[in-house]
Structure 1
């Protein structure tokens, strides 16, 4: 009888054992669902309506999404966000690789202090960063003063007021923000490379460039993927810098999807259209980073 009782209890014990890991992650999943999944689902719901944010709403189905495809302001915002990827991701990656390789090869003294200084932009509130750079770019700001000092005063201008230069000016702030993070990620990856590999390469007559291409670069593919994912997300969802420095101007020269969400919802009272922009932006961010992560994983596995 006792044996039968034990056998009867075994299936439930097995089920409990299988459910135990999920019970541990249940609180985290509930918080995740409450503060991320639920608002995302509600935004998707709002995007199907023509609603000013109060009062009655009118169901339009996919009408808001169809309108976006012919909305020049929205298409410009997407183009600007993709342009910012060059400043937030590509430029910091190139510069970060060079700096990390130099620091790794040169064994610079005071490297810990240097890392802290380089990482400092990451711990400063973006609003503070935006205000500071707005002052630097102003007609009477530090940048124009520096140009006067070196005899290039004819290049001075209101950088954020020039439709042709406002977006690159905002992009350079993103470059300043991202370079330190990217460099530290790559430097950490290069720090795991055994010194024996570099010594063997030097014995074979390899120079700094050959060492970098043959040893350093292939060894940090995972870190490159991580850096690209983080910086591309930052580029596509940037809002603080644009809002504080230019408010999307002059005209629509620096408007980006995140700012469009704010502008349509709170200024134009088009909550449905704003929600559609938010959903499109979410899909764009998710799609680009899935592709980058997949490519990065394939290269790491192939290595």
Structure 2
């Protein structure tokens, strides 16, 4: 069986027709992928082995740029920050989404469409718009601090995005707000496909909310869980626009992440080779984490 070029329908391969003919149908897509993804990535790998400021002649660096990733605290910190942000960008949205989906599987809520639309709205907005709005909310004279002062908690008010301790969690909260709606919608779609008889049987057996979740809901949501984790992990690790607009990696380098460090080194400090090494390492990290998540889910399903 193979797909025809015009209709997209499957037809049986004619006797004697070489299998190589089938690969011709995916060749255009493969060429586009190679030109716009594989070739630029290959160039980045090549640049990562050079010392280059973007203007003068480049000199070989060997593995020096990669050794700096482990030996230079200024390069290790962005990766540590990215792993911390994964708690806010991936773990919390997935946990909250699972909790909401589990609750809605037991209780019928009126206005479900409106509720899902409101929670999914951050996914529709451009992240630049989200970053500008939250920068205003978290400003020293912003809505959050004004609310704290109004309810008598003025001692908790602070410049959230300018505080060395709270800047990274503040940016993480924005990521949680953005990602929760996506996870909830994914899990709700999965819950709606679970036969209601399974829930009724669990309740007849005396299963409470917790047991029902682990016995019925969670096993049915494993494929959706893999998708949610993959999307949120990628979003958390490639985070650039939120950091750029809200903190620009500050205060100091308290919120610097690998994607921002690539921009900073390539265009502000003219360390193109080092920036390329950070980008390649980030790509490898994203690939390793997403493959690990997929393998874990497949192992559970097997």
Shift of 1:21: 2.7
Superposition RMSD in Å: 1.5
Shift of 1:111: 1.3
Instruction: Judge conservation of contact 2:92–2:176 (CA < 8 Å) in 1.
Output: yes
Structure 1 residue aligned with 2:208: 207
Moved more, 201-210 or 289-298: 201-210
Whole-angstrom distance in 1 between the partners of 2:41 and 2:30: 15
Shift of 1:14: 2.0
Whole-angstrom distance in 2 between the partners of 1:149 and 1:223: 42
The structure in which a higher percent of residues are helix is 1
Structure 1 residue aligned with 2:196: 195
Counterparts of 1:106-125 in structure 2, within 5 Å, are 106-125=107-126
Structure 2 residue aligned with 1:160: 161
Structure 1 stretches of 4+ with a deviation exceeding 4 A read: none
Structure 2 residue aligned with 1:273: 274
Structure 2 residue aligned with 1:42: 43
Whole-angstrom distance in 2 between the partners of 1:289 and 1:195: 32
Whole-angstrom distance in 2 between the partners of 1:100 and 1:245: 31
Structure 1 residue aligned with 2:255: 254
Whole-angstrom distance in 2 between the partners of 1:192 and 1:91: 24
Q: Deviations over 1:177-217 (max 9, x none)?
A: 11111111111111111000111111122222221121111
Whole-angstrom distance in 2 between the partners of 1:264 and 1:209: 49
Whole-angstrom distance in 1 between the partners of 2:86 and 2:198: 34
Instruction: For structure 1, list consecutive stretches of 5 or more residues without a partner in the other structure.
Output: 1-10
Q: Deviations over 1:198-253 (max 9, x none)?
A: 11111122222221121111211111111111111111110001110000000010
Q: Deviations over 1:120-156 (max 9, x none)?
A: 1011111111010000000110101111222111111
Instruction: Judge conservation of contact 2:68–2:75 (CA < 8 Å) in 1.
Output: no
Q: Which has the larger radius of gyration?
A: 1
TM-score scaled by length of structure 1:
0.93
Instruction: For structure 2, list consecutive stretches of 5 or more residues without a partner in the other structure.
Output: 1-13
Q: How many residues align?
A: 290
TM-score scaled by length of structure 2:
0.93
Aligned: 1:14 with 2:17 = yes
Moved more, 134-143 or 96-105: 96-105
Counterparts of 1:107-146 in structure 2, within 5 Å, are 107-146=108-147
Whole-angstrom distance in 2 between the partners of 1:207 and 1:72: 49
Secondary structure of 1:197 counterpart: helix
Aligned: 1:299 with 2:300 = yes
Moved more, 114-123 or 134-143: 114-123
Structure 2 residue aligned with 1:58: 59
Whole-angstrom distance in 2 between the partners of 1:283 and 1:221: 25
Whole-angstrom distance in 1 between the partners of 2:263 and 2:165: 24
Whole-angstrom distance in 1 between the partners of 2:86 and 2:148: 27
Shift of 1:31: 1.2
